[in-house]
Amino acid sequence: MNGPSESVPHVYAKGDARLDELLELLSFAATPMPLVRLLDDLPRRFAKLFGAAVCSVYLVEGDGQELVMRGNVGFTSKAIGQVRLNVGEGITGKAVEYLRPISAELAQSHAAYKHFGTLGEERYPAFLAVPILGKNGALGAIVVQREAPAFAKADVELACAIGSIVAGYVRQAELIDRQRERAATRSAGGGTRKVTLTGRPVVLGRVMGAMAAMRRPAAHAPKRKVEASAKDEAKRLKTAFDDAARLVTRWQGRARELSLTEGAAFLETYALILSDARLRDVALDEVAKGEPIAKALLSVARLATRAATAFARDSFLEERAKDIEDLCDALVMIAAEDPRARVPSKAVLVGDNIGVFDLLVSAHAEPVAFVLSERAQGPRTKVLLELLGKPSLIDVTGVFRWASDGDLALVDADHGLFIVNPSKSEIALLREERREAKRDENRTSVRPT
């Protein structure tokens, strides 16, 4: 009598597309990596696994009540860092609020649906939002969207399981928000440990450099050196006016190249101010009396302010007075002989705001990036950053609390991240991206003979 037949194990060999993609995704997720790489690669792998056109990664930020898209495939790259929801808002916000996944066959018919007109997401009505669960609540959400079919229960379960792996990377990123500020402290000696701050991208790109605060002329004008004659000072001032006029003309040309002529119309105001012989004469007269250039230009700015407020408040004159003051600051720096008055070259420039001063002065140092705090609310801010054309972030809360001049910083304006004292792996990743970009450039430049 024969014994029971032996059970033959089934080996799931390569060829099952969904299983192969799942194993590749799990292998990827199990590999230590910077958050930046996760935000780049996870959406692509997730979308492929679920046969979806769109996958987005949202992170909980601020006071724990805001969700910000930090990773995406399927939408325009300009959506990253810009698409924002409150916790409880939209299907994604509800999933985070309830700490439960939510799916919809037709997202637009869901009571909580929130439409973003710039995304065109109505093309992908099948919707799945899965919260990224942390120890004390949600850390974010993963959203998958496709045309059809609706997501099955097995899809939801699988997405939740993968989301739990993602949570570890988000926790390790140590995003600084208001809830975590008290626990995170600066190191002794003025430096900081690694800190990741978030902001809104304006000009995309990823770069690294030493940080430097944006400079402005000293509040008190230095005394003129004994050996500097009035004639020498006048010559330097005239040269500064001429140099500034050439720079404004150059930036006007740049605005035309970028189709920013309308937004950069304020440059015409600066061109008119620089061509105003009366302003030059007032400044040169002060220099001829023995005043240093900084004090002479301060007199010009004060005259403009008095004219703006002499009889009645005139918004046009007040704005013109501010423009003259900004321009006088730039002229002081252009004429300055002290190299300490200028910003370091190839730096990540950090400040509360940006103005034409930075087109005329800061840009001369060829900074690699601009990072502005939450105080940067001026109507010209985005246009100025686009003109400068360097990776740029705005609305970076707490930047001056966590960083100092000379700190190494990585500006990831693709995802809206500002990393102070980046890790070795983050530095290595950026350098590898640069090498790969260089190889691509070299391959493109080679032409068959």
Which pLDDT score, from 0 to 100, does residue 215 have? 80
Q: Is residue 393 within 8 Å of residue 201, measured between CB atoms?
A: yes
Check residue 395 and report its DSSP letter.
Answer: -
- The residues facing 59 across adjacent strands are 68, 140
267 and 353 fall within a common domain: no
Looking at residue 107, which CATH number applies to its domain?
3.30.450.40
247 and 146 fall within a common domain: no
Which pLDDT score, from 0 to 100, does residue 190 have? 46
443 falls within a domain: no
10 falls within a domain: no
Which pLDDT score, from 0 to 100, does residue 17 have? 86
Token pair of 355 as six digits: 């103005």
Which pLDDT score, from 0 to 100, does residue 341 have? 60
Which pLDDT score, from 0 to 100, does residue 8 have? 76
51 falls within a domain: yes
7 falls within a domain: no
Q: Is residue 260 within 8 Å of residue 383, measured between CB atoms?
A: yes
The upper half-sphere exposure of residue 220, i.e. CA atoms within 13 Å in the direction of its Cβ, equals 2
The label of the residue with tokens 């530095």 reads: 427
Token pair of 307 as six digits: 């004219």
The label of the residue with tokens 């930036």 reads: 251
What 3-state DSSP class applies to 45?
A: helix
Looking at residue 317, which CATH number applies to its domain?
1.10.274.10
Taking the C-alpha atoms of residue 127 and residue 156, their distance in angstroms, rounded to an integer, is 11
135 falls within a domain: yes
Which pLDDT score, from 0 to 100, does residue 95 have? 97
Which pLDDT score, from 0 to 100, does residue 177 have? 46
Pairing relation of β-strands 348-351 and 369-372?
Answer: parallel
- What's the whole-model pTM score? 0.85
Q: Is residue 115 within 8 Å of residue 108, measured between CB atoms?
A: yes
Q: Is residue 330 within 8 Å of residue 361, measured between CB atoms?
A: yes
Task: Pick the closest to residue 418 from 437, 436, 391 (CA basis).
Answer: 391
Q: Is residue 328 within 8 Å of residue 297, measured between CB atoms?
A: yes
Looking at residue 209, which CATH number applies to its domain?
3.50.30.10
158 and 238 fall within a common domain: no
223 falls within a domain: no
Which pLDDT score, from 0 to 100, does residue 228 have? 59
For 31-90, the pLDDT digits (tens) are 888 888 899 999 999 999 999 999 999 999 988 899 999 999 999 999 999 999 999 999
Give CA separation, 132 vs 27, 43, 113, 121, in Å.
19, 14, 20, 22
Taking the C-alpha atoms of residue 19 and residue 176, their distance in angstroms, rounded to an integer, is 37
166 and 109 fall within a common domain: yes
Check residue 8 and report its DSSP letter.
Answer: P
Given 341, 376, 406, the domain boundary residue is: 341
For residue 230, the tally of other CB atoms under 10 A from its CB is 14
Which pLDDT score, from 0 to 100, does residue 131 have? 96
- Looking at residue 371, its amino acid is V
Rounded to an integer, what is the distance from CA 151 to the centroid of its chain?
A: 34
Which pLDDT score, from 0 to 100, does residue 77 have? 92
The one-digit pLDDT tens for each residue of the chain (449 residues) are 555 667 778 788 788 888 999 999 888 888 888 888 899 999 999 999 999 999 999 999 988 899 999 999 999 999 999 999 999 999 999 999 999 999 999 999 998 999 898 898 999 999 999 999 988 889 999 999 999 999 999 999 999 999 888 888 787 765 654 444 444 454 444 455 788 899 999 999 999 999 999 887 665 445 555 455 788 889 999 999 999 999 999 999 999 999 999 999 999 989 988 888 888 888 899 888 888 888 888 888 887 777 656 555 666 667 777 888 888 888 988 887 656 567 788 999 999 999 888 999 999 889 999 999 988 877 899 999 999 999 999 999 888 888 888 999 999 999 999 999 998 989 999 999 888 888 877 777 665 55
Check residue 175 and report its DSSP letter.
Answer: B
Q: What share of the chain is helix, strand, coil (3-state, %, to 5)?
A: 45, 15, 40
- What is the domain range of residue 148? 17-173
Which pLDDT score, from 0 to 100, does residue 180 have? 45
For 79-103, the pLDDT digits (tens) are 999 999 999 999 999 999 999 999 9
Token pair of 49 as six digits: 């696994």
**279: burial class by Cβ within 10 Å (0-12, 13-18, 19+)?**
buried
379 and 332 fall within a common domain: no
132 and 154 fall within a common domain: yes
Check residue 100 and report its DSSP letter.
Answer: S
168 and 27 fall within a common domain: yes
Given 299, 321, 341, the domain boundary residue is: 341
Which pLDDT score, from 0 to 100, does residue 292 have? 86
Residue 111: partners with Cβ closer than 8 Å, 6 or more residues away: none
182 falls within a domain: no
6 falls within a domain: no
322 and 356 fall within a common domain: no
Q: Is residue 378 within 8 Å of residue 353, measured between CB atoms?
A: yes
26 and 161 fall within a common domain: yes
305 and 371 fall within a common domain: no
92 and 109 fall within a common domain: yes
Q: Is residue 81 within 8 Å of residue 416, measured between CB atoms?
A: yes
Number of domains composing the chain: 3
336 and 363 fall within a common domain: no
Q: Is residue 372 within 8 Å of residue 354, measured between CB atoms?
A: yes
For residue 301, the tally of other CB atoms under 10 A from its CB is 19
Given 341, 370, 393, the domain boundary residue is: 341
